[in-house]
Structure 1
Amino acid sequence: MQFTQLGLSQPLLAGLAQLGFEHATPIQASAIPVILAGEDLLASAQTGTGKTAAFALPLLQRLIETSGEQASLTSPIRAVRALILVPTRELALQVHGSLQALARFTSLRSGLVYGGVSIAAQQAELALGMDLLVATPGRLLDHLKRGSVKLDKVAYLVFDEADRMLDMGFKDEIRAVLSHLPRARQTLLFSATLDDKVQGFSRDLLKSPKRIEVDSSNSAAKDVEQRVYAVDSDRKFALLSHLIRQGSWQRVLVFSRKKVAVDKLVANLCQAGIASHAFHGDLTQGAREKVLQDFKQGELQVLVATDVAARGLDILSLDYVVNFELPYVAQDYVHRIGRTGRAGNKGVAITLFSSEDTMLLEEVEVLLDKRLPQQWLPGFEPDLTKADLFAGRNRKSAQKRRAKKRSLRKS
């Protein structure tokens, strides 16, 4: 479906044209009419499917249509009419950047607040007034306590990546923010998954919402090729270095579970002459933005990240994602590999698998409802005496466990 068929005004169509967008993605084609109709929405879509524009475009359209109401306010300062809550700083920057690009030919003004940077500078920006505000819950609550911003005019509330907000423990902060909002509003909740936790959270927020699930909530991006290389744990680094050099990879995102492991891997990569940097919560916000910019511009070959830090990253032309370690939570695997294969581009996700990862890989396979066949790279074959999994003696029992878990999940 073309954007011209979705009832969007000329300024928004001009913004889309300048960005080179003509056709709506499935989530955009499904969500935009629902939001324009004033309905609450509970939506699930994977990363890279265009879900930011799916809520940004109709919000901008509705704000344009009601701009006369804003102009008639007695105060010359614009009141926040649309609030978008996101879990991380990186996602906040990404969403705000998308809003600015889409609203380029409108008179709407957007703002951004998140932690890790000067609160005074944000207070000065908020004092100028804005139509839309993108915020992380904790920093927004700080501004509300300081009186830097009022939310009593908010007519549209969006939760982006609601599942991650709950995983990061923002439930109390969110409820505190909600106490400052009008009860009469349109609420939109977007999440990669619509599990029981998300649905339970949504019941108190949404009023008779429309529900949209464009992709299976547990499916991996269809444009991502998934490979699993079996290798002994003490040879993972050697294999990673070999893959990067042999393939002449120029931009690689590598995931590890803990900050200490990330720092160790970065040190080893740099020692091997591979330009790398860590990306985790111990970095200041300014340092994280600098590292990410260097990576996007090709000054860094490898970015090694934890799951929390990397959620919300949007990197164009990212061809390779590597799971140096599988995540403890299977759903994080889907989020990780969703960093590549975005917006119709192809991508490759590689998992370095050792015998101690057996149960974690099995959980991922159950989640995806598919086997991820293992392969051996010549010169890096695992020691078959270390684990009978590679000899296949446990395969039958593993299949039974997957079938049992799949049955429980569908029941």
Structure 2
Amino acid sequence: MSFNSLGLSEPLLRAISKKGHTKPSTIQKKAIPFILERRDVLASAQTGTGKTAGFTLPMLQILSEGEILRKRPVRALVLTPTRELAAQVLEDVRSYSTYLDIRSNVIFGGVSAAPQIKSLRKGVDVLVATPGRLLDLHQQKALSLANIEILILDEADRMLDMGFLRDIKKILALMPEKRQNLLFSATFSKDIKKLANTFFTQPVLVEATPENTTAEKVDQKIYKTNKSKKTALITKLISEGNWEQVLVFTRTKHGANRLSQKLEKSGITSAAIHGNKSQGARTKALDGFKKGKLRVLVATDIAARGLDIPLLPHVINYELPNVPEDYVHRIGRTGRAGASGQAISLVSVDENEHVRGIEKLLGESLEKEILDGFEPTENLQEVLERKAENKARQRGGRKNRSSKPQGGVGRRRN
């Protein structure tokens, strides 16, 4: 099947050809015809399946066929969970609308709102946004959602995970009831289905892959070791394997910083991205990683969500996530668009329960290996006792700090 058979207009086909695409992906073949029929669509599609084009192309066609209003009110809204994903969606929207009279822009937090407000005043047909900044600017009367024709919730599962449900409900109340609704999610949890039931009208369900499955092209392996040996092990794997582009996941922001610093000391160029980093620092790190200036990007789950890194060969779980579905999201960063990839997890004894949860979700047993010199020697009781001691020390440190006299009575911390 070719893009020509999906009912897309000539300007869109020219833009697709310019990007070098020849055949639509599974989610594009399934979703685009229904969206062009103005149907509400619930789509299950993991990252790397071409889902962004799956909603961008038909959205642009619908808008281009409608009346272009003189003041250019926002007619289509794409909500995303993270700044990085918002920026990447805008890039795709602009690329595919090269030969159309469509204006698009993006708004997200972490940067000054003034330039965003200025761009909105010029008129925008397609607005890509994160929920918080969208509500902020609406409250400032910098934008209106009264003319929305199409609403797209991208990576809806992650938006709920990040606590955006209340914001989403507020945003829904600001739009006309008569509109087309599209929801794209890697998984369909009960919360996702409950949300969809509140505002969808007879939605069509389309799936690119079976629910909660991982990419078939990803080679998954577990290395069992001590927690204290993980940094040395990850350094060995990257150095001896001569890996040039590795995305590493940690559970915490501080853990990401520490690991990145240790890798740098070992001669492996690295940067960390997480919620405490400024948008400028995150953008710079991601750009350096994509261009090959950095071999390793260490990230937390939230920061890594939505990262578009073509042909990423290696993903390493320095620590396993608490939620099995997050493992699927993580390793979905590799093995994309038909390419092969490798996902490695470094697992200490206290993470064995997480392994069992992941294997249950996947319906398969993951390959496990122990490397010489990195044998696991700790038992679970030792690890749990050490964790308790560390927490006690941290609580003691916070207590001591809080007991110190504070300058400036009533001073607010920003």
Q: Same fold (TM over 0.5)?
A: yes
Query: How much does 1:387 deviate?
Result: 6.5
SS of residue matched to 1:204: helix
Q: Is 1:213 matched up with 2:207?
A: yes
Alignment map for 1:235-274 (pairs within 5 Å): 235-274=229-268
Aligned residue among 154, 165, 168 for 1:160: 154
Q: Which residue of 1 aligns with 2:315?
A: 321
Counterpart residue type for residue 37 of structure 1: E
Q: Is 1:300 matched up with 2:311?
A: no
CA distance in 2 between counterparts of 1:223 and 1:334 reads 13
Q: Which residue of 1 aligns with 2:331?
A: 337
CA distance in 2 between counterparts of 1:160 and 1:282 reads 23
SS of residue matched to 2:101: coil
Unmatched 5+ stretches in structure 1: 389-411
CA distance in 1 between counterparts of 2:348 and 2:110 reads 37
Q: Which residue of 2 aligns with 1:30?
A: 30
SS of residue matched to 2:49: coil
Asked if 2 retains the 8 angstrom alpha-carbon contact of 1:224 and 1:337, the reply is yes
Query: How much does 1:317 deviate?
Result: 2.7
CA distance in 2 between counterparts of 1:205 and 1:193 reads 19
Aligned residue among 87, 102, 115 for 2:81: 87
CA distance in 2 between counterparts of 1:224 and 1:288 reads 26
Asked if 2 retains the 8 angstrom alpha-carbon contact of 1:330 and 1:367, the reply is yes
CA distance in 2 between counterparts of 1:16 and 1:92 reads 20
Aligned residue among 74, 77, 90 for 2:71: 77
Query: How much does 1:379 deviate?
Result: 3.1
Query: How much does 1:104 deviate?
Result: 1.1
Asked if 2 retains the 8 angstrom alpha-carbon contact of 1:86 and 1:159, the reply is yes
Q: Is 1:142 matched up with 2:136?
A: yes
- Residues 65-113 of structure 1: CA distance to partner in whole angstroms, max 9, x if unpaired? 11xx22xx4xx32111111111110110111111111111112111100
Q: Is 1:18 matched up with 2:18?
A: yes
SS of residue matched to 2:142: coil
Identity %: 48
CA distance in 2 between counterparts of 1:295 and 1:343 reads 19
Counterpart residue type for residue 212 of structure 1: V
- Residues 2-32 of structure 1: CA distance to partner in whole angstroms, max 9, x if unpaired? 1010011111001100111111111000000
CA distance in 2 between counterparts of 1:120 and 1:382 reads 54
Aligned length: 381
Q: Is 1:202 matched up with 2:202?
A: no
Aligned residue among 274, 278, 282 for 2:272: 278
CA distance in 2 between counterparts of 1:243 and 1:226 reads 15
Q: Is 1:101 matched up with 2:95?
A: yes
SS of residue matched to 2:248: strand
SS of residue matched to 2:228: helix
- Residues 237-268 of structure 1: CA distance to partner in whole angstroms, max 9, x if unpaired? 11100001111111111000011111111121
Alignment map for 1:372-383 (pairs within 5 Å): 372-383=366-377
Q: Which residue of 1 aligns with 2:360?
A: 366
Q: Which residue of 2 aligns with 1:356?
A: 350
Q: Which residue of 2 aligns with 1:125?
A: 119
TM-score (norm 2): 0.90
Q: Which residue of 1 aligns with 2:388?
A: none
TM-score (norm 1): 0.91
Q: Is 1:44 matched up with 2:44?
A: yes
Aligned residue among 213, 221, 233 for 1:227: 221
Query: How much does 1:373 deviate?
Result: 2.2
Counterpart residue type for residue 46 of structure 2: Q
Counterpart residue type for residue 5 of structure 1: S
Q: Is 1:185 matched up with 2:183?
A: no
- Residues 332-388 of structure 1: CA distance to partner in whole angstroms, max 9, x if unpaired? 1011011111111111000011111110111111111111121122332323x7469
Counterpart residue type for residue 26 of structure 1: T
Q: Which residue of 1 aligns with 2:409?
A: none
Counterpart residue type for residue 310 of structure 2: L
**Which moves more between the two structures, 90-99 or 210-219?**
210-219
CA distance in 2 between counterparts of 1:373 and 1:266 reads 27
Asked if 1 retains the 8 angstrom alpha-carbon contact of 2:220 and 2:367, the reply is no
Asked if 1 retains the 8 angstrom alpha-carbon contact of 2:73 and 2:147, the reply is yes
CA distance in 1 between counterparts of 2:39 and 2:7 reads 16
Query: How much does 1:47 deviate?
Result: 1.0
Query: How much does 1:178 deviate?
Result: 1.5
Q: What is the RMSD of the two structures over their aligned residues, measured on CA atoms?
A: 1.2
Q: Which residue of 1 aligns with 2:110?
A: 116
Asked if 1 retains the 8 angstrom alpha-carbon contact of 2:212 and 2:361, the reply is yes
CA distance in 1 between counterparts of 2:107 and 2:206 reads 29
CA distance in 1 between counterparts of 2:283 and 2:233 reads 29
Query: How much does 1:171 deviate?
Result: 1.1
Asked if 2 retains the 8 angstrom alpha-carbon contact of 1:46 and 1:217, the reply is no
Unmatched 5+ stretches in structure 2: 382-414
CA distance in 1 between counterparts of 2:57 and 2:284 reads 29
CA distance in 2 between counterparts of 1:140 and 1:54 reads 23
SS of residue matched to 1:118: coil
Query: How much does 1:180 deviate?
Result: 1.4
